[in-house]
Amino acid sequence: NMFTSIFTLTMMSVDRYVAVCHPVKALDFRTPIKAKMINVCIWILSSAAGIPAFVLGGTQTNSDITECALQFPEPYGYWDTMMKICVFVFAFVVPVLIITVCYSLMVLRLKSVRMLSGSREKDRNLRRITRLVVVVVAVFVVCWTPIHIFILVKALVNVPETTAIMAAYFFCVALGYTNSSLNPVLYAFLDENFKRCFKDFCLSAKLKGDKVSGSKKIPNSVRAAAVPLENPDGTSKPT
């Protein structure tokens, strides 16, 4: 889940970069089929990143306490440290660099377009997008930095597993996953396109509901109009 979330955010930054900086290429690149293919590749890559944990996962007992752990070959400390360093580099450092570069180039591109046109509307769009970029990247770094630093320090330094340390560890894990739930909120409040599309989606759903309810009422009224009026002797009255 961690790899899937981070890789998805990284690809979103690449997608926005292509859309803004290379609009012509975006016509061929940003298609529903390719989006599905990229999502499948993200899940395959994330699953591949979890293979070591699946293969090496096991249990170990220390002081009558059994816990889940990765069973690395000897020397255990070396492989454990290498594993955590690789996760830190490929699941945090590289994605942060890609996200930062993509959004920075996007802002520079929008700024250059605004300077050429001198449009106030483009200036407002630039400020909105810049604010969105800064907030998204900042929240990403704030949410994921603690757990990666915690794991890296724990791999390099002998940290005692006290109750306070374990509580801090689980808090950092929860903070990292909180980033995924915060992103929709950030886009909802800061992205005008997201708010407009969401509003259109809600209105279209409401209109469809009104049409369905209206279509259910029409047959009843038609049937009521089609029922012939009858005389007491059973003969129909003329209409």
**How far is the C-alpha of 85 from the C-alpha of 153, rounded, in Å?**
10
- Taking all residues of the chain, what is their mean pLDDT, rounded to a whole number? 76
The pLDDT value given to residue 221 = 47
Comparing CA positions, the residue from 92, 184, 198, 85 lying closest to residue 132 is 184
* Residue-range domains of the chain with CATH: 2-180 (1.20.1070.10)
pLDDT < 50: residue spans in the chain: 221-227, 229, 232, 239
Query: Exposed, middle or buried: residue 28 (CB in 10 Å: 0-12, 13-18, 19+)?
Result: exposed
Share of the chain above pLDDT 70, in %: 78
pLDDT digits (tens, 9 = 90+) for 32-55: 898 889 999 999 988 888 887 777
Helix count (H) and strand count (E) of the chain? 9, 2
pLDDT digits (tens, 9 = 90+) for 155-181: 788 878 788 888 988 898 888 888 878
User: How far is the first Cα of the chain from the last one, in angstroms, to the nearest whole number?
Assistant: 70
Q: Is 0.85 topped by the overall pTM?
A: no
CA 73, 166, 162: angle at the middle one, nearest 5? 95
